[in-house]
Structure 1
Amino acid sequence: MTSPLVTSEVGRLRTVLLHRPGAELRRLTPRNNDELLFDGVPWVARAQDEHDAFAAALSSRGVEVLHLDRLLAEVLDVPDARDQLVTAAVDDPRIGETLRHTCVAHLSDLASDELAAALIGGVAHDELPGARGLAFELMGPGDFVVRPLPNLLFTRDSSVWVGDQVAITSLAMPARHRESTITGAVYAHHPRFAGPQRLYDPTLEHLEGGDVLLLAPGVLAVGVGERTTAGGAERLARRVFTRGLAHTVLVVPIAQERATMHLDTIATMVDVDAMVMYPAVADTLVAWTVRAGEEPEAGDLRVSGPRPFLAAAADAMGIDRLRLIDTGLDPVTAEREQWDDGNNTLCIGPRLAVAYERNTVTNKALEDAGIEVVPIAGDQLGSGRGGPRCMSCPVVRDASPA
């Protein structure tokens, strides 16, 4: 087994962490889908078929696929991990002390695979035997004692590897808080990872993996918008500098809107010197350049800017220019394909990217620019607003070619 190491977006992908959607998607209804951050109620069987095809496309190109739910079930054989995750599942002021004790007893008695399913899929009011107490009586039959985690599908957000260290992120939305406890427990307790050094922690300022792009070895871009705060970007910058993981962090303000919730919803790398970007922001996207100050061990920072993002990125990467793939989209098509995650691609290697098949115009532009596109279906997977990059957390990549 190769030790985790990721230094770019485009080095040949060797190992990736995915989560196949399951019972948690069946919990979505028109009544709760907004609260659980989905734009609709997906057809679960079709979403699973689409995800299976995504995993198969990666495997067929030599990528080892790790499944988060399987790793979680194995970790739950470890008493410390089991106790930690059960405690996190009932850490909810809605349920009260009486119902909390009942739920803890129920979860603690489950076999590891059953507990994994409950932690991800949730536990509803009418699924808890012997439950009582005021909070229980006031709940409706379909209310959740343990909320489901349908967004666990997007494994990019709850953790991101920078070099050989892992950032367990601080997720902004309440519906997603427990995702990082699951990911963190897997990295801490599963023998595949052997407790890597943590670069970030969920108790810190909000920072999500979809906002972190490893543009080149030593160069990170961090989006600041709906999900990641400036404080989170600053904290990450201090840590990557003091640990020698990067020399430059580009902080990129993005609109606080659903369609642009993360930096990777508007721009992703498709080659060592090229990216695809939402045309509406290509001319206006800027970056603040952050580097270590005179006393890096003390967390001293030097901040300059703002400058046009593409120019600032090229300078930081040490290249003449960062090529922007010209998609040639008219404004209406651009907006449609942006909403359908047309710019959220996953590089398997230089000039080889996975993309949703429905974004035909963007994909054609990529192919015309010499990027081989691996098309996958995503009609149902995309109802949570995320594309191939959102659904994947690279764990091992080859060093990026020069």
Structure 2
Amino acid sequence: MTHFVDSEVGRLGTVILHRPGPELARLTPRNNDSLLFDAIPWVGRAQEEHDAFATALRERGVEVLYIGTLLAETLSVADARTELTERVLSDPRLGDTLRRRVADHLTYLDPAALAGVLVAGLAREELRVGWDRPGGLVHRLMDRHEFIIDPLPNLLFARDSATWIGDHVAVTSLAMPARRRETSLTNAIYRHHPRFGGTSFVYGPGLEHLEGGDVLLLAPGVVAVGVGERTTPAGAERLARRVFEAGLAHTILVVPIAQERATMHLDTVCTMVDVDAVLMYPNIADTLSAYTVVAGADGELQLDGPAPFLRAAADAMDLDLLRVIDTGLDPVTAEREQWDDGNNTLALAPRLCVAYERNVETNAQLERAGIEVVRITGAELGSGRGGPRCMSCPIDRESLRPPDGPWGPAAAPSAPA
């Protein structure tokens, strides 16, 4: 099957989500900080909220795929099973004896059970050892609740480990240690699952740090890349070179953002809601800047700027003006709703987006600007700092490219679904 995404707002056809599961139940007050969660989520309620999110997408004609299902199907492929098993067994913390025990344990799991362990992790107390199956010194010295294989609760935020640019996928290189194994799963799915046979890659794990939440497809041929806490300047440069080599864009906007928890990704401060409109945190709307990067005739990158982000984006998108819709109405409300992922919307089509219902003022602002808002509950889903865009990886959208050429002005907006 072919998959294609050239904007943030083209009508959404297919999306990948990860339904939260036992990995969230691994979070405790002792480890939630290291696993990047601000609170201990109520797992059952988080699942209910996520199911409602998926239902809202399906009701509007979106095909929903789940990472857990795709992973189990991928693990039916022998090479994929070997690859992912060797990945967890290569952990230097294990030691030789415990590594053999873990290998034995994983060998007897069917694909669905193995997928569950790779996502939810394996605690010391869950591994059977005995006089005939010794765990060795490492196992003996571990706390009973310590993880032999770490859980991946942040897999919920499916955007970060992979993002599509045109007909290529960028499997990313995650910055935080707690998340790095996520891309081994994503990479295996895109390389081995039958649905993705022949997929072309424009980025991969092990390269300079780059995360999907920092990559926004502003328009066909225009990609914005945030540089801050998670994506490095070197990652943005590497992506730019590869995107230009593959002919996937004509302009890359590199956007420095504060290296803070509240602004960990570019999509925490702005997301597209129409072909010419961006929802944006007002505290930075006038100060956010961008460097414009294009490919030179000699293959080297040509750099211009910095310039105000809104001006640079409009110029690259061939617009007179990029409309801005503010988060909240006053500075306090704006700060509160930005923290609660008010800017982090998922567009289903031009002028139609999904947003957390708790961001009352921001949603009202969107509707006053002519944007239809599909409200979902996110009281528990938001405990890991992510909204509807963070939780979704679109793999197919209706193209906004004009019929008379590969690039050009954004296509005229269509009516919301």
TM-score, normalisation: structure 2: 0.94
Q: Does residue 1:221 correspond to 2:224, yes or no? A: yes
In the alignment, is residue 21 of structure 1 matched against residue 20 of structure 2? Answer: yes
2:238 aligned with 1:235: yes
The corresponding residue for 1:37 is 36
Structure 1 pair 107–195 and aligned structure 2 pair: CA distance change class (3 A): farther
Shift of residue 91, structure 1, vs aligned partner: 2.6
SS at match of 2:92: coil
Is 1:203 aligned with 2:206?
yes
- Specify the SS of the correspondent of 1:94: coil
Alpha-carbon shift at residue 90 of structure 1 (Å): 2.6
On the 8 A contact 2:327/2:343 being kept in 1, the answer is no
For residue 166 of structure 1, what is the aligned residue in structure 2?
Answer: 169
Query: What's the CA shift string for 1:326-363, capped at 9, x where partnerless?
Result: 34521111111011000000000000000000000000
State the distance in 2 between where 1:95 and 1:281 align.
45
Per the alignment, residue 393 of structure 1 pairs with 393
Q: Residues 77-132 of structure 1: CA distance to partner in whole angstroms, max 9, x if unpaired?
A: 11100011111123322222221121112112101110000000000001011251
Match of 1:349 in 2: 349
Partner of 2:80: 81
User: Residue 7 of structure 1 aligns with which residue?
Assistant: 6
1:95 aligns with 2:87: no
Q: Is the 8 A contact 1:171 1:206 kept in 2?
A: yes
Stretch deviating more after TM superposition (105-114 or 217-226): 105-114
CA distance in 2, matches of 1:345, 1:108: 41
CA RMSD of aligned residues (A): 0.9
- What letter matches 2:77 in structure 1? V
* 1:328–1:201 distance in 2 versus 1, CA, 3 Å: closer
Deviation at 1:195, TM superposition (A): 3.7
C-alpha distance in 2, partners of 1:68/1:127? 24
Asked if structure 2 preserves the Cα contact closer than 8 Å seen for 1:189 and 1:195, the reply is no
Matches within 5 A, 1:206-355: 206-296=209-299, 300-327=300-327, 329-355=329-355
Q: Helix, strand or coil for the counterpart of 2:27?
A: coil
Aligned mates of 1:216, 1:91 — CA distance in 2: 41
Alpha-carbon deviation of 1:390?
0.1
**1:68 has 2:67 as partner:** yes
1:106 aligns with 2:105: yes
Contact 1:279 1:329 in 2 (8 A): no
The one-letter code matched in structure 1 to 2:372 is: E
Q: Give, in whole Å, the separation in 2 of the partners of 1:249 and 1:279.
A: 23
Q: In 1, distance between residues paired with 2:326 and 2:259?
A: 25
Quick one: distance in 2 between partners of 1:9 and 1:18?
16
1:359 partnered with 2:396: no
- The residue that corresponds to 2:405 in the other structure is none
Identity over the aligned pairs, expressed in percent? Answer: 67
Amino acid at match of 1:177: R
AA of the residue aligned to 1:337: E
Q: List runs of 5+ in structure 2 lacking aligned partners.
A: 401-410, 413-417
Q: Secondary structure at the match of 1:395?
A: strand
| SS state at 2:8 partner | coil
Unaligned 5+ segments in structure 1 are: none
* TM-score (normalised: structure 1): 0.98
Specify the SS of the correspondent of 2:206.
coil
- Whole-angstrom distance in 2 between the partners of 1:263 and 1:327: 15
CA distance in 2, matches of 1:334, 1:92: 43
Alpha carbons 1:240, 1:246 under 8 Å: kept: yes
User: Once superposed, which parts of structure 1, at least 4 consecutive aligned residues long, lie more than 3 Å away?
Assistant: none
Q: State how far apart, in whole Å, the 1-side matches of 2:150 and 2:382 are.
A: 21
Mapped partners of 2:230, 2:65: distance in 1: 26
- CA distance in 2 between counterparts of 1:243 and 1:295 reads 16
1:342-396 CA-partner distances (Å, limit 9, x unpaired): 0000000000000000000000000000000000000000000000000000000
- Other structure's SS at 1:55 match: helix
The answer (yes or no) to whether the contact 2:328–2:337 under 8 Å persists in 1 is no
- Per-residue deviation, 1:399: 1.0
Q: Deviations over 1:232-253 (max 9, x none)?
A: 0000000111110000000000
Q: Is residue 11–residue 349 contact of structure 2 (8 Å, CA) maintained in 1? A: yes
CA offset digits 1:212-251 (Å, max 9, x no partner):
0000000000000000000000000001111100000000
Q: Which shows bigger deviation, 237-246 or 124-133?
A: 124-133
